[in-house]
Structure formats: structure tokens, C-alpha cells
Amino acid sequence: MQHALPDHLTGTLLEGRYELGPRIARGGTATVYRAVDTRLQRVVAVKLMHPHLAEDPTAADRFVREARAAARLSHPHVVSVLDQGHAPDGVPYLVMEHVAGSTLRDVLRRRGALPPGEALALLDPVLDGLAAAHRAGLVHRDVKPENVLISGTGRVTVADFGLTRAVDQHTATATVLGTVGYASPELVTGQRVDTRADVYSAGIVLFELLAGRRPFEGGPLAVARAHAEGAVPDLRTLDPGLPAGPARLVARATARDPQRRPPDAGSFLEELRAVRSGLRPAELARLPPPGSVRGGPPAPPRDSGATTALDPAGAPTAALGAEAAPTEALGPAAPTEALGPAAVRTEAPRPRSTPTEIRRPPGPGFPAASGRPLPARRPGGSSDPWRPEVELRPTRPLHAAGTLALVALAVAGAAFLGWLLGSGPGGTVSVPDVRGAGPELAEQYLAGAGLGNVAVHETADPVAPAGTVLGTDPRAGATARTAEQVVLLVSAGPERTTAPDVSGMPEQDARARLEEAGLTVGSRTPVPDDAAPGTVVGQHPEAGHAMAEGSAVELAVSGGARADSAPGVLGRPVDEAVRVLAEAGYPARVEESLGAPFGYVVAQTTDGAEVVLTVV
């Protein structure tokens, strides 16, 4: 479910039209706010790029270009882009359709694995929306459950085309911009990607819907290696009772070789509907076994050739730069044969034989206690039934080759371990102290120390200005591995609250109500009013205004009805005279005579509703 939280931008009006409400999401490139289009009086979602990213002209131009590309889509299963503009500080934003409801990730957290019928029904509109994007020449590049929105009426839409690129704009890159847990092998290894990358990600989503967890677990680097070098596990090895159709569908969509996948989301959708129509009602409604709801076996060792299931919660979104892994770790792998439409029969590997000695059983002519082995079979053969027909001992050349292979593997493993614990992601550095800096400068300091995996977490702080780094996790001075994620704790300013309406309350009740809202009482001004004395008759700021916690609200308190005539204040000090008149409900205007060296009232006249005091 989307949780709305006010922050320092709540209440901001963009270009005189879009009034920002509470924050509903924050990602790696932008923050999303629920907002009101004041011109059309409708609720929308405004996606505002992070200011430190907007300072890069290339990133800002790409944000605008991709927003315009996404706006070309008009489909019931794609979140519509309605408008685009720039905030007063130049930060670009885009306005999207607001979908009130939950995400597919919420469904997975709540229910775990789903029956095949529900899983296929949920993926159907997702593929329908992606197919519209593919027909328009766009690739989403970040298909995951968090980007699948489900409205209160059950409408399913694909959101966040922020990583979208036109197919002809794709180039090889060493940076993974999507979520690693759902990234295709070609995206992980920096190769050119096309619509088949979205097909792979959608296949991983279907795997998670059927198994309750993703196929690979571990840190971002380990998961990226698994996608690049391993094969997605067969779902039927995890759940033997699963119908063969959905398992084959997942295997085809997640083939490591893009040529073996459906060419685009439209083709994948046709295959999904064919599989769904071929399942019996009992197969569609089959409940997953209890063990497939959550959890999974531990991650394999770093240098293990095997890949295992499964990460229940999912690894966080991470960007893998060129320095995140050695070239050989994420290089292109040999194509993997995927399961076809028909079941593939494979022969179980035979266990390797070990040297065996054949002994004769005791009996006539066979000394029971000798225990001596029979000699090897002669070339001419023998009719002795106790002689082996073939030699089971491995020949010397094979033995030598095996030894050399083991030595080569040991040397390679030692070299890899040296790199891992030295300059590779296994190396350690000290976390620098970046408190007080801005997020962008802090990231530069961390990158200079060898820590390139940085995330930003905003937290309220009553003292530090918004955008100031409060600290890091791990803390400054701690030892961290170069591949480890460092979290920047950034101040979002004080907590925001809304001024309550205290007009008409007795002063003491108004004070208590303001304190409950986290506010204090500022100046108290008595004013003449027909309300009972001590009743609050006005406040500043007005009710409903967003304020920082701890801020003061000024109160105007009734001093009772104004007297029929102004009290006399002749001979009093001017400050006292003005106060007495104000309490009686008469504003005063002071006129100084001879520079007013003494500050006493020597004359008092009434000019309409105002009292004029002459002071010397």
C-alpha cells in the first residue's frame, strides 16, 4: 500500500497549477507526490526529479525525453503521463495519473505464492500494457512487482516508465539501471537490450507469483552474476505438483539466450493465454504447497558455479557500475537450452566408477581365507563368470588430465580470492565522515574512498536543514567492503503537521489542542470582541496550514466588548497608555512633541475609532 508522508515540499504550488500533497514514493531518480491539479480539480501524481540529479544537464534532458516518450502511450493498463514541466528551481517534473490502491508487491507480501489461475490472470494485463509500449517502440527496462499498480476496483496498470528508452536509442552500457533481481542477462552484462529484456523480467515476475519468491537471492552482485551466468531453476523442481504449462512458460521467457524467448510482450501474452486456456479448472485453482509461500535455501558461495533459489523479500534496487564486478564475472555466457513446449527427457548422469577389486566367493577350489584379488582380464577374454567384462580403473592419461584440471582450478580460485579481498568487492575501506555535506558532495567523498554503492534515506530532524547529511550507516570510521551499500541519512527537515482550528475555544483548551498537534502558542493579543473574555477569536497561521513541528501559532483572545468611551490615559507613560487603550478596544496613534524626551501623554483626543495621544 502506498503510504503518504508530508515533507518540506508538501504545499508547494508548481507553475501555478499543481499543489503538492504528501510524498507517496521515493526512488533512485525521483520522488512522487500525491497532488491536486487546481485547474481541473483532480488528484494526480507528480514525479519530481531529485535536485542533485537535475544539476546534470544530461540526466535532466533524459528525464524530459523519456517523459515525452512515455506520454505517447495511451492504454488502459499503462499509467498515463498527463503533463511535464519545471519547478521554480529548474528541477523537471512530470504529472501522471494517480492510481489509488496497492502494488503487486503488496499482494506478494500478503499472500505469497498464488494459484496458477490467479498468477496468470495478474500477469495478463501487465503484458498487455507492455505490448502497447513495445508496439510504440519503447522498452520499459524495470518491470517488477513494485511497478505494477492495482486500483481499488481491480484495474492493473504498469507504472514508472522512468527508465524507458526508445529501442533505437539503446546502446551497450556497463551500468544496470533496473532492479537487479529482475534484470535480464544482457542488461546485467552491458549488452544492447530490446523488448526481450522486458519479457525476461516479466518471466521472473511470473516465477515469483507461482513460487512466492524470486529465483536468485543474495547481494546485488551475486544476483547479477546468477542472472548473467546461471539458469533460472525449473519451477517443477521446487513444486513437483505445478502444472507443466506455467513452468514451461516461465522457462521460455527466462531463457538466458534472448533468441529463445518470445520476441516481445505481445507474443508472450499470446503464449500465456494459450497456456491458461489449456489448464483444467482444478489446475488453475491449485493451491501452492505451504513451503513455497516464503523463504528459501541459503545463497551459494561467491565462487560457486551453482545458482539457487530463492530470495523471499527481494534484493533492493541497485545500480551496478563498471567497477561493481570484474569483466570476467559478468561477461556474456554461452547460450543455455531452455525447456521447449514439450517435456525434455534427460538422462541422469551415471556415477563415476571407482577402482574395484573383484574377489571370488568361497567355495570348492576357492580358498575362503586367501582374500587375494583375481588378476585382470586377459585380452583373449575368459569364460569365468566372476571376472569383470571391462576394466573399471581409470587410465593414466585421464588421471593426469584430472589432476591438471584440479591444479588449474586451484590456481584460478586463489587468483580470484586475491582479487576479491584486495582491489575487488571483497576489499575493505574506512567510511569517511560526510556529516553536514549535501547528498551529492557526500556521494563524491564516498566514491573517492572506494564506496560506490550508495543509497539515500531521508529522516526528519528538528534542527538540521533539509538536504543536510546527518550521518551514514555504517557510521563514519567503520570498516566496510567496497561492494557494501552505504546509506546516507539525509535530513528532511522537521516533521510537518497541520495547524488545527482553535477559534471559538477557551484559551486553555486551545493551548492543549495545539500541543497535541505538536505546536506551541506564540504571542497572545487581547482584542475587543462580543465573545466571552478569554475566548480565542483568531489565529495565525490559519487552520489547515502545514507547519513544522514545534512552530508557534499566534492567538487573538477576546477581551470582552469594547467600552462605550475610551479610558483616560493622561499623564501615563506612552507604552502603558497604548496598552490600556488596546485592552479597551481602542487603537492608539502617537504624536510626539518636541522629540518626546519624557515619554508621557499630555493630550488625548478621539478621532473616530482611533485615539490620538500627544506625548512629550
Span of 8-22, 210-224, 388-402 with lowest mean pLDDT: 388-402
- pLDDT value of residue 274: 95
**pLDDT tens across 201-241, in order?**
999 999 999 999 999 988 778 888 899 888 999 999 888 89
Q: Which of 301-305, 379-383, 581-585 has the highest mean pLDDT?
A: 581-585
Span of 69-83, 104-118, 149-163, 347-361 with lowest mean pLDDT: 347-361
Distance CA 221, CA 244 (A): 32
**The pLDDT of residue 330 is above 70:** no
**pLDDT tens across 191-201, in order?**
888 999 999 99
Give me the amino acid identity at 66.
Answer: E
Strand-strand pairing, 588-592 and 92-97: unpaired
Distance CA 474, CA 486 (A): 6
Average pLDDT of the segment spanning 69-84: 84
> Does residue 258 sit in helix, strand or coil?
helix
Q: Which of 142, 160, 311, 529 is catalytic?
A: 142
- pLDDT value of residue 234: 93
Give me the amino acid identity at 452.
Answer: G
Q: What is the 3-state secondary structure (H, E, C) of 384-407?
A: CCCCCCCCCCCCHHHHHHHHHHHH
Distance CA 26, CA 75 (A): 25
**pLDDT tens across 26-44, in order?**
766 788 899 999 999 999 9
Torsional sign, CA 532, 533, 534, 539: positive
pLDDT band at 347, cuts 50/70/90?
very low
**DSSP output for 576-613:** HHHHHHHHTT--EEEEESTT-SS-BEEEEEEETTEEEE
**Mean pLDDT score across all residues of the chain:** 75
Number of Cβ atoms within 10 Å of the Cβ of 201: 26
Average pLDDT of the segment spanning 279-303: 64
Q: Which residues pair with 5 in a beta bridge?
A: 23
Give me the amino acid identity at 547.
Answer: M
List domains and CATH numbers for the chain.
Answer: 1-98 (3.30.200.20), 102-339 (1.10.510.10), 429-491 (3.30.10.20), 496-558 (3.30.10.20), 574-615 (no CATH)
> Which are the contacts of 256, defined by CB distance < 8 A and separation ≥ 6?
185, 230, 231, 333, 335, 336, 338
Asked whether the beta carbons of 490 and 521 are under 8 A apart, the reply is: no
- pLDDT value of residue 449: 83
**The pLDDT of residue 94 is above 80:** yes
Average pLDDT of the segment spanning 243-272: 95
Q: Is 142 a catalytic residue?
A: yes
**DSSP output for 180-240:** GGG--HHHHTT----HHHHHHHHHHHHHHHHHSSBS--SSHHHHHHHHHHS-PPPHHHH-T
pLDDT band at 171, cuts 50/70/90?
very low
Span of 44-53, 283-292, 374-383 with lowest mean pLDDT: 374-383
Q: Which of 365-369, 382-386, 409-413, 514-518 has the highest mean pLDDT?
A: 514-518
pLDDT band at 130, cuts 50/70/90?
very high
- pLDDT value of residue 477: 84
pTM of the complete model beyond 0.85: no
**The pLDDT of residue 65 is above 60:** yes
Distance CA 138, CA 521 (A): 56
**pLDDT tens across 480-514, in order?**
877 788 888 888 777 778 889 988 899 999 999 98
Distance CA 578, CA 581 (A): 5
Asked whether the beta carbons of 575 and 552 are under 8 A apart, the reply is: no
**pLDDT tens across 556-610, in order?**
888 777 666 778 888 888 888 888 887 777 788 888 777 667 788 888 888 766 8
Q: Which residues pair with 560 in a beta bridge?
A: none
**The pLDDT of residue 164 is above 80:** no
- pLDDT value of residue 476: 86
**The pLDDT of residue 442 is above 90:** no
| E-strand stretches of 431-505 | 454-459, 469-473, 479-481, 486-491, 496-498
**The pLDDT of residue 117 is above 60:** yes
Q: Which of 190-199, 345-354, 415-424 has the highest mean pLDDT?
A: 190-199
Distance CA 322, CA 327 (A): 8
**The pLDDT of residue 90 is above 90:** no
pLDDT band at 313, cuts 50/70/90?
very low
